[in-house]
Structure 1
Amino acid sequence: MNSLPGEIIDQVWYIIDNNLQGMFQLNEMIGFNLTNQKNHLTFEFLQQDNVVASFDTPFPYAESFPEALWVYDDGSSQIILLPNEQM
């Protein structure tokens, strides 16, 4: 995936490692909406298609960002996908 800058991809892993693990039961597929909150990027963590937590970032929001992304993590492989991408 190359539609997000590296620092934003790093932010996804930071949120998972520091905000989600231990707080939520995580499946192998983790979903996020990417939203514009006061011109900054916010990640909305999804479980069963419901937003259960939001994480504001200092990064400016760009219209070129995808509306959503998925993270696949089976303990040995980790990848970030857009919803229309296949593994």
Structure 2
Amino acid sequence: MPFSNPNERYASFGIVTSLPSELIDSFWFVIDKNLTGVFDLISPLHFRILKNADNQVSLEYRSNQTPSWIQFDLPYPFDPSYPREVYIVEQNRTQVILLPDEFTG
């Protein structure tokens, strides 16, 4: 099953230079604890980074197969310099978080 039991996980240079490590780790947490087994996760996964009513980060997942979306509020302050969208791709059980301009698929 895609996005379960990955061998390796990485963040692209663009992600590492634009997001704090705890926010990067939150993507993996959301996938592992909230999305796996609920959605049919097929690469690429598409997320938006939003500001919630408390001026903190919300991650919004948009399903590729259905018009479904779900938001996860996180306990981290929102920064307007954060990228608005990120993609997570999986190939051969290796997963990578990428910015839209780094994603070629």
Is the pair's TM-score, using the shorter chain for normalization, greater than 0.5? yes
Alignment: residue pair count: 87
1:2-55 Cα shifts (integer Å, max 9, x gaps): 210100000000000000000000002100011000200000001238451110
Could you tell me whether the CA contact under 8 Å between 1:31 and 1:69 is conserved in 2? yes
Q: Normalising by structure 1, report the TM-score.
A: 0.90
Please give the secondary structure, in 2, of the residue aligned with 1:25. coil
Percent identity between matched residues is 33
Structure with a larger share of its residues in strand: 1
Structure 1 residue runs without a partner (length 5+): none
Measure, in 2, the Cα distance between the counterparts of 1:51 and 1:6. Answer: 27
Report which structure shows greater RCO (CA 8 Å, sep ≥6). 2
Cα-Cα RMSD: 1.6
Residue aligning to 1:17: 32
Specify which of 23, 37, 48 is matched with residue 33 of structure 1: 48
Measure, in 2, the Cα distance between the counterparts of 1:4 and 1:64. Answer: 9
Could you tell me whether the CA contact under 8 Å between 1:44 and 1:51 is conserved in 2? no
